[in-house]
Amino acid sequence: SQQGEEDPQALSIQEGENATMNCSYKTSINNLQWYRQNSGRGLVHLILIRSNEREKHSGRLRVTLDTSKKSSSLLITASRAADTASYFCATVASGGTSYGKLTFGQGTILTVHP
């Protein structure tokens, strides 16, 4: 199975509500990243959290990392219709390669209704 599996696969909420997406992975990581993709477009980096960090904020985004459970969560507060997109977590394994090999999950499709 894939490193970086998101849960839920799809999430539908109303504008103003919070959205929480979870990601689980299997191997030790150097860092974990969250990306956003609007339909059929490229990915946009949202936030990076290192293995020695537990929580990180960026605007309305809050990411947590629990390395003991090999899991991460992305919280989007006060969601907007413009947040409608697919959200992916991606991990960079610790050790191993000398370059940035990202391993992606299947993503969570978030729909925010106005």
Partner 1 sequence: ETGVTQTPRHLVMGMTNKKSLKCEQHLGHNAMYWYKQSAKKPLELMFVYSLEERVENNSVPSRFSPECPNSSHLFLHLHTLQPEDSALYLCASSHFSRLQETQYFGPGTRLLVL
For partner 1, the binding residues (CB under 8 A) are 2, 4, 30-31, 33, 35, 40-45, 48, 88, 90, 92, 97-107
- Secondary structure E strands in 3-101: 5-7, 10-14, 19-24, 29-37, 43-50, 55-58, 61-66, 71-76, 85-93
Minimal distance in Å, beta carbon 113 to partner 1? 24
C-beta of 10 vs 78, nearer to partner 1: 10
Distance (Å, rounded) from C-alpha 22 to C-alpha 110?
Answer: 12
C-beta of 45 vs 54, nearer to partner 1: 45
C-beta of 54 vs 101, nearer to partner 1: 101
Minimal distance in Å, beta carbon 92 to partner 1? 5
Closest among 91, 68, 87 to 76, alpha carbons compared: 87
